[in-house]
Copies of this chain bind each other. A is one copy, B any other.
Amino acid sequence: MTTSQQERLDRFRARQTAQDRNLFGRISGAALSSRSQAKRLLRSVGTLSITEWRVLWDLVEAGPLTVTEMATIQRTDHALISRTIPPMIEKGYVVTTTGAEDRRTSLVAITPSGHTVFDETSATMAQRRTAIKDAFTEAELDTFLALIDRFERIVEGPMPAVSQTEDVA
């Protein structure tokens, strides 16, 4: 290996180390790993996709919900939920009714069949949550969530405000 190849490798390693402290990349990486794991686990215990599973979990825990409510709970785009519902109706997992008080809304409810496919995932996904519970104390979880809150305040707006001490990398 030539010196210039070694230098190239050194620069790659330095970059990797530097990015280990980049919160944007770290949070993205953690989220993507989490999603992949969830996907593998769900595939191992049934046929539900991640989004289908999340919908059923919300409905099992909270009863009938609107598309907007589920999107809010799941911190995702309403379009993703909206698109996930019709195939779930076809599979017999959920039913929808137009809102009685607000006919723009549709109220989604789980069916017995939906309960069944959801129940097949429960032990596995509960085990996954337990692993998190075991890994963090309540105080550590509080700290983690407070830090995530702060991060979110920065990434929620169009552009975060910065102090006068800003430096340009």
Copy number in this complex? 2
Number of interface residues of A (CB under 8 A): 83
| Shortest Cβ distance from residue A158 to the other chain B in the assembled complex, whole angstroms | 6
- Interface of A (DSSP majority class): helix
| Shortest Cβ distance from residue A48 to the other chain B in the assembled complex, whole angstroms | 15
Q: Is the CB of A154 within 8 A of B127?
A: no
Task: Specify the chain B residue showing the minimal Cβ separation from A167.
Answer: B130
Return the CB mask of A87-123 against B: 1 if under 8 Å, else 0: 0000000000000010000000000000000000011
Q: Give the B-binding residues of A (Cβ under 8 A).
A: 1, 5, 8, 11-12, 14-16, 18-38, 40-41, 58, 61-65, 69, 72-76, 101, 122-124, 126-132, 134-136, 140-141, 143-145, 147-148, 150-163, 165-169
